[in-house]
Amino acid sequence: MQFHNPTHIIFRSGSLHTLGQIVEDLHSVRPLLVTDEGIEKAGITKRVLSQVEGVPLFNAIEPNPKHSTVNRGGNLVRERNSDLIIGLGGGSVLDAAKAIALLGTNPGDIEDFEGREKYTNPPLPVLAVPTTCGTGSEVTWVAVITHTGRKFKMSIKGRRMYPTVALVDPDLLRTLPAQLVASTGLDALTHAVEAYTVKEATFITDVFAREALNLIFQSLEPAYKDIDGNAEARENLMKGSLLAGLAFGNSDVGAVHCLAEAVGSLYDTPHGVANSVLLPYVMEFNLPASTGRYADIARMAGIADGDDTAAAHKLITKIKDLSRSLSIPAFREIGIHEEAFPEIAQKSFENNSNPSNPREASVKDYIAILSRAYRD
């Protein structure tokens, strides 16, 4: 059993104003700010630029970041000889920032580094600033990048890819639209559920996953209803997201993510939405292997039933009800049709997290999960 996380974490409401000092402490003189247009429109980018004079901006990151976009960012880093990447945004931006940092010190394109420890030189340091409540990427060693030619989400992994610093400021959620609070919050819940139930879960990751589950169940609905006004819910939800990242970063994720990444690569469906929609149906499939663990989670969610099987079933119902209360679309409403199920299932089976799922899942099993979600 091992647990590793070298990221220096700063968690405090209002802490974004310390970013300039952090950049100075990291001895950076040529940082690059990686973000997206939505963050710029929300006015958050301006708050960073005011602290780091003259920092160039790469704001082209899209949901499910494309390999071609990352390669453009890598070329920019090389041209400017950048010495620090500041990632400001949700999971897509933070994953892209880590991938761009890798290209800053290694020749080639990002697709050349698919897999584990494929780089020669350590990536540039990354200062990760999450602006959603669902990524966890600020404390993980993985960047997930979509190869548009293959229509496949590549996982680029390495022990030197952890961000150097994670600056986690819950106040950055204040302008997050309710729809994104819902999908990214349920994404964090998925991280915690899978971290707690995959085969690689350990007693240390369980500590983080359990606290994440407690915090997310307690805070998600209040935060959805009033993310700007409810400081306690906002802070607890961000804390839950961070702890879930620490959990799955040292255990793994499972079949929910395998499916969500396949759907995202083919349909560009936002990752949080895909996870939110698919979570309860994968849980139904995993019940034979995970009843006890689901019963544990049920009790964290306030389900008092003493029978494990009954509690596990009630948990799945509760998560479906929670999704409806947060206006998460039904599977039929996200534009995926039955004829695509075999291809989605094949890509899910090929995902390198598939072996971690608590119950062995074949291509046929993935098709059955998709069909169940489609019928419901």
Token output for 302: 């306030």
The mean pLDDT of 292-316, rounded to a whole number, is 95
Asked whether residue 1 carries a pLDDT value surpassing 90, the answer given is no
Asked whether residue 294 carries a pLDDT value surpassing 90, the answer given is yes
Task: Show me where the domains of the chain are located.
Answer: 8-173, 178-375
Question: Between residues 140 and 2, which one has the greater pLDDT?
Answer: 140
pLDDT at residue 59, as a whole number: 97
Asked whether residue 305 carries a pLDDT value surpassing 90, the answer given is no
pLDDT at residue 56, as a whole number: 96
pLDDT at residue 146, as a whole number: 96
User: How far is it, in rounded angstroms, from Cα 350 to Cα 281?
Assistant: 19
pLDDT at residue 304, as a whole number: 87
User: How far is it, in rounded angstroms, from Cα 20 to Cα 161?
Assistant: 22
Contacts of 41 (CB under 8 A, 6+ apart): none
Asked whether residue 181 carries a pLDDT value surpassing 90, the answer given is yes
pLDDT at residue 190, as a whole number: 98
The mean pLDDT of 305-312, rounded to a whole number, is 92
The mean pLDDT of 160-175, rounded to a whole number, is 97
CA angle 3, 248, 331 (to 5 degrees): 170
Radius of gyration, alpha carbons of the chain = 19
Q: What percent of the chain is modeled with pLDDT above 90?
A: 97
Expressed in angstroms, the distance from the first to the final Cα of the chain is: 39
pLDDT at residue 53, as a whole number: 87
pLDDT at residue 183, as a whole number: 96
Q: What is the DSSP string of 75-107?
A: HHHHHHT-SEEEEEESHHHHHHHHHHHHHTTS-
Least confident of 177-181, 243-247, 267-271: 267-271
The CATH label, of 3.40.50.1970, 3.40.50.10470, 3.40.1190.20, 3.40.50.300, for the domain at 8-173 is: 3.40.50.1970
**Sorting pLDDT into bands at 50, 70 and 90, what band is 306?**
confident
CATH superfamily of 178-375: Dehydroquinate synthase-like - alpha domain (1.20.1090.10)
**What's this model's pTM, rounded to 2 decimal places?**
0.96
Asked whether residue 68 carries a pLDDT value surpassing 90, the answer given is yes
pLDDT at residue 241, as a whole number: 98
User: How far is it, in rounded angstroms, from Cα 195 to Cα 252?
Assistant: 6
Distances (CA, A) of 66 to 151, 210, 211, 237, 283: 10, 33, 33, 28, 30
The overall average pLDDT reported for the chain is: 97
pLDDT at residue 180, as a whole number: 96
The amino acid present at 147, given as its one-letter code, is H
Question: In whole angstroms, what separates CA 275 from the centre of its chain?
Answer: 10
Residue 230 backbone phi and psi in degrees, to 5: -100, 90
